[in-house]
Amino acid sequence: MIKLLTIVGARPQIIKAAALSRAIKTNFSGQIKEYILHTGQHYDQNMSQVFFDELNIPKPDFNLNVGSATHGAQTARMIEGIEEKLVQLKPDFLIVYGDTNSTLAGAIAASKIHIPIIHIEAGLRSFNKTMPEEINRIMCDHASTMLFSPTQTGINNLINEGFSTTNRLPFTIDNPAVFHCGDVMYDNSLYFAEIAEEKSTILQQNKLEKGAYILGTIHRDHNTDNPQRLSSIFEALDKIASDNQVDVFLPLHPRTSKLLHKNLDTDLLSRIKANERLKIVGPVSFLDMIQLEKNTALIMTDSGGVQKEAYFFRKPCIILRPQTEWVEIVENGTAIVADADKQKIELAFQKLYKNEDLTFSPVFGDGSASEFICEQIINLKYKFDQ
C-alpha cells in the first residue's frame, strides 16, 4: 500500500485536494492510503471546514492550527509541524498543491528529509517575483520528484528552467518526472456542477437572476494592501454596476473585507455602501460559488482558480492583475488582463459583456486529471520496488 501525505492549508488547496481524495476513494483505495495534514493557514468556518463538509473530503489526520502571521513566521511554524509529522508517519510521498505558503512549507520540510514530493499544478509562472506565490511555486517545483502540470504552457515553463519530459526511472529530486495531466479543478467543476444546481440556493437568497449579474472576487495582497489599486478596482465596479444597471455580486475574502475600511477613502466607501447594485457578502461555499459562476454573465477576479473556473463554465473574465499564469484563456480572447486600472477594466467590460462570439477550446484536459495522477504514482512506486 502506498502511503501519501497530502498538505492542505488555504481554501483553493482544500478544494483541489477533494479531486484526488475522491479518485483515491473511488478507484485506488486498494493501492493508495491517503493521510491529510491541514496547516491551519485558513481557519474560518467559511474558508476551511465548509469545503471538507461539502466536498466530502476526509477529516484531516493532523491539524497544525498555524493561523495567520507574517510570511516568515507562518511558513516557519508550518515547516516545523510538517517535519514532525513526516518523521512520525514516514509517507512514501508528500503531495502539495499550487503556490501557497503551506505548499512551500511542505516542500521545504519533505525535501530536507528526502521524502519525494509530488507537486500538483507545477510549472505555472506569472514571471512576477514580487508575488509571494511566484517564489513559492518556483521553489516547490525545484524540490519535487513528480511534477504534474495542468497546461502545455506549464510544461514549456519547466523545460525553460531545465526540466526534461524525457527523464527515465528511477525518478528522484535530481531526476524528476514531468507530466502534462490536465487540471484537477476541472475534474471538480465537472463533478460538482450538477450537484450545485440541485443543492445551492445562493441565487434565490440574493435575488440574482440567471445570466443577469456580474460575479467578482478580490483577495490578492497586491490589490488589497494597496489603497490606490483597491480604490481603482472599486471605482470601476461601482461605475459598471450603475451605468449598466447590473448587479455585481462580490463574495469577499476576509483579507479584503478587513482592508476595505482601511484602504478606501470615506467618499468611495459610502458610495459603495449606497449602491444597491453592489452586493458584498462574505466567502461562499464551493457549491454556491460554482452555481454563481455557471449562471453569471461575466467574472471579474484576481483569483487564479476563479479565472480558470470562468473558462470551465464558458464565461468571459476580466483579470484584475498585471499578468496571469493562465495565458491560454487570454490568448483565446475570453479573458482580458485589466490589472487594477479603472479605464482598462471598463474597456474590458465593454468588449466582453454580452459578447456572443467567444469560443472556449479545450485547454484543461478532460476531467480525469486526478485518475491520471494516481496511476502515475502507482506506476512509479511499483517500478521503484522492482
Does the active-site annotation cover 142?
A: no
User: Among residues 309 and 371, whose Cβ is nearest to ligand UDP?
Assistant: 309
Distance CA(126)–CA(147), nearest Å, equals: 18
Among 3, 25, 33, 43, binds ligand UD1 (CB under 6 A): 43
**Residue 296 grid cell:** 453569471
- 302 neighbors 268 (Cβ within 8 angstroms): no
**Residue 98 grid cell:** 499550487
Q: Rounded to 5 degrees, what are φ and ψ at 224?
A: -70, -35
**Residue 86 grid cell:** 513526516
In order of 65, 108, 237, 277, the CA distances from 350 in angstroms are: 45, 45, 13, 18
> Measured from the CB of residue 172, what is the shortest distance to ligand UDP in angstroms?
29
**Residue 376 grid cell:** 502515475
The stretch near ligand UD1 (CB under 6 A) out of 10-18, 230-238, 291-299, 318-326 is 10-18
> Measured from the CB of residue 286, what is the shortest distance to ligand UDP in angstroms?
4
Amino acid sitting at position 233:
I
Binding mask 200-219 for ligand UD1 (x = CB under 6 A): -------------------x
Distance CA(223)–CA(230), nearest Å, equals: 5
ω before 170 within 30° of 0 (cis)?
yes
81 binds ligand UDP (CB under 6 A): no
CA-nearest of 360, 362, 358, 336 to 347 is 336
CA-nearest of 214, 231, 319, 301 to 271 is 231
**Residue 140 grid cell:** 516547490
User: Among residues 4 and 47, whose Cβ is nearest to ligand UD1?
Assistant: 47
Distance CA(5)–CA(12), nearest Å, equals: 17
Distance CA(346)–CA(351), nearest Å, equals: 9
**Residue 158 grid cell:** 519547466
- 374 neighbors 20 (Cβ within 8 angstroms): yes
Interactions with ligand UD1, residue window 241-260 (CB under 6 A): 253-255, 258
User: Among residues 123 and 304, whose Cβ is nearest to ligand UDP?
Assistant: 304
Distance CA(164)–CA(386), nearest Å, equals: 24
284 binds ligand UDP (CB under 6 A): yes
Taking residue 266's Cβ as centre, other Cβ atoms within 10 Å add up to 8
User: Among residues 219 and 277, whose Cβ is nearest to ligand UD1?
Assistant: 219
52 binds ligand UDP (CB under 6 A): no
Per partner kind, with CB cut-offs from 5 to 8 A, the member of ligand UDP, ligand UD1, none near residue 42 is ligand UD1
- 94 neighbors 116 (Cβ within 8 angstroms): yes
The stretch near ligand UD1 (CB under 6 A) out of 99-107, 121-129, 293-301, 359-367 is 99-107
Among 21, 39, 100, 285, binds ligand UD1 (CB under 6 A): 100
> Measured from the CB of residue 313, what is the shortest distance to ligand UDP in angstroms?
10
Among 154, 251, 316, 367, binds ligand UDP (CB under 6 A): 251
The stretch near ligand UDP (CB under 6 A) out of 114-122, 227-235, 269-277, 298-306 is 298-306
283 binds ligand UDP (CB under 6 A): yes
11 binds ligand UD1 (CB under 6 A): yes
Binding mask 256-295 for ligand UD1 (x = CB under 6 A): --x-------------------------------------
Among 2, 7, 8, 15, binds ligand UDP (CB under 6 A): 15
CA-nearest of 12, 93, 171 to 374 is 93
- Among 38, 119, 219, 253, the active-site one is 219
- Contact residues toward ligand UDP (CB under 6 A) are 11-12, 15, 217, 219, 251, 283-284, 286, 289, 303-306, 309
User: Any idea which residues carry the catalytic annotation?
Assistant: 219
- Contact residues toward ligand UD1 (CB under 6 A) are 10-12, 41-44, 47, 68, 99-101, 132-133, 219, 221, 253-255, 258
